[in-house]
Amino acid sequence: MYATSFQYVIWSHLDRFQKTTSAGRQVFLVPIIVGVPRETFPDERRVALVPAGVSALARSDVSVVVESDAGREAGFPDNAYEAQGATIASDRAEIFASANVIAQVRGLGANPEAGAADLDLLRADQILLGLLDPLGAPESAQALAEKNVTSFALELLPRISRAQPMDVLSAMATIAGYKAVLLAAHTLPKMYPMMITAAGTITPAKVLIVGAGVAGLQAIASSRRLGAVVQAYDVRPAVKEQVESLGARFVELELDTAESETAGGYAQAMDEEFYRRQRELMGRVVAESDVVITTAAVPGAKAPVLLTEEMVNGMGAGSVIVDLAAETGGNCELTEAGKTVNAKGVAILGPMNLASTIPFHASQMYTRNVTAFLENLVDGGEVKIDLDDPIVHHTLLTHEGQVFNDRVRERLGQTGADEGSGD
């Protein structure tokens, strides 16, 4: 039911947007206006677009309207936006009323409580893009479809080379991996590097990184910069070279990992017997570590438990676990999201939304992702929804009153050959 190249065009009577069609007809395009509302998720300090993004989008004839103080907590005051040509609106409703594209960090789905209020402000044919957690909250996608909103979930971006500048998950994971090391170093009652002092030699901390995705690799690099001895484990043997290139030792366990990764490059959930065997083999490595940072997550699913209470009890007093999967249930059996748990002298940190704790650079990186995505979407003053483009095809969540993405449709119990075609 979807055309292979669908053009989403809004008409106006503004002379500077006059265009002549191939048929010689004079038409007037409504300017594309991106609205940037203030984030409402608890303790969220990021903003979807920093001032530099305003001037970047202007090159594609895209205007920007920003809710007052939207960037303040990230270090970007209103006057910085105005200096780049953005309009500041004091009323949130005005943002949604004046913009035809809404850019958010956490949109409906990823902001389940406060985000519900924005649903009333969204209008038919408006475009919403951001982190929308469609696999974790598929009902929000249905609500957007019923509102006839065209939405793009940036966490569904395919792992292809052309999409790398738009990869929000990788950008935010980079920050999380870095900050996890700082939290561990702050909590550990030891120093990270080896030091030769007049009082004797101080041995380096032993750090184990579980999961060598973007967050894990950054955690390896940051731990090495601080002088720790680092080991890393991942179910994907292919990442061994990356781990070793950063100066860490790759931990190899005797496990069948052939189905550990999806065709799209994301981690794939394994069966419980696999995880049981993995925990059994990993126990010794965990016991000899001063710090364990876990990063294992499966999109749209509960995080696998990799560290049991028994394994934690085998660690030395003063050891630290930083569980980056705390928001989705945790990789450690004892993790409590948003809290620090003391388990017989072992500190277990369950941080949430770490990227938001470094909002200045997180917002800069997110802006580059968003502007790259919009530049791919906008052509000649029009927003073009080209379903032959894998970037559009995979991220398109709702369109023309329907949930488009197949995985989300499946979670909603929606089937049918003539309905939706995203994957």
* Whole-angstrom distance, CA of residue 85 vs CA of residue 1: 40
Same domain, 152 and 34: yes
Two tokens at 376? 């791919």
For the stretch 142-152, pLDDT in tens is: 999 999 999 99
Q: Which of 72, 159, 224, 249 is catalytic?
A: 159
- pLDDT at position 255: 65
Q: Which of 18, 164, 276, 379 is catalytic?
A: 164
Residue 60: active-site member: no
Residue 25: active-site member: no
Task: Assess if residue 162 is contained within a domain.
Answer: no
Q: Which of 170, 319, 364, 402 is catalytic?
A: 170
- pLDDT at position 236: 84
- pLDDT at position 419: 44
- pLDDT at position 300: 78
* Whole-angstrom distance, CA of residue 11 vs CA of residue 28: 6
Task: Assess if residue 422 is contained within a domain.
Answer: no
Residue 388: active-site member: no
* Number of domains comprising the chain: 2
Q: Is 357 exposed, middle or buried (0-12, 13-18, 19+ CB in 10 A)?
A: middle
- pLDDT at position 260: 52
Give the mean pLDDT per block of 10 residues along the chain (423 residues).
34 39 47 96 97 95 97 98 97 95 97 93 96 96 97 96 96 98 98 93 96 96 98 90 97 67 55 72 91 90 92 96 96 97 97 97 98 93 91 96 95 67 55
Pick from 304, 293, 241, 240: nearest CA to 267: 304
* DSSP classification of residue 166: G
- pLDDT at position 149: 97
- pLDDT at position 259: 55
- Continuous segment of H or E residues that includes residue 221: helix 214-225
Pick from 276, 337, 284, 283: nearest CA to 305: 276
Residue 366: active-site member: no
Domain that includes residue 227, residue range: 176-352
Dmax of the chain from CA atoms?
A: 85
- Name the domain boundary from 325, 352, 379: 352
pTM: 0.87
* Whole-angstrom distance, CA of residue 60 vs CA of residue 34: 12
* Whole-angstrom distance, CA of residue 224 vs CA of residue 173: 18
- pLDDT at position 12: 33
- pLDDT at position 379: 86
Contact 216/232 with Cβ under 8 angstroms?
yes
Same domain, 346 and 364: no
Q: Which of 60, 98, 236, 266 is catalytic?
A: 266
Task: Assess if residue 389 is contained within a domain.
Answer: yes
Same domain, 282 and 266: yes
- DSSP codes joined into one string, 397-412: EEETTEE-BHHHHHHT
The set of residues, in sequence order, having a beta carbon less than 8 Å from that of 292 and lying 6+ positions away, is 207, 208, 209, 210, 286, 307, 315, 319, 320, 321, 322
Sheet arrangement for strand 396-399: 87-89, 62-67, 32-36, 101-106, 127-131, 150-153, 396-399, 402-403
Residue 133: active-site member: no
- Name the domain boundary from 304, 324, 352: 352
Contact 399/385 with Cβ under 8 angstroms?
yes
- pLDDT at position 101: 97
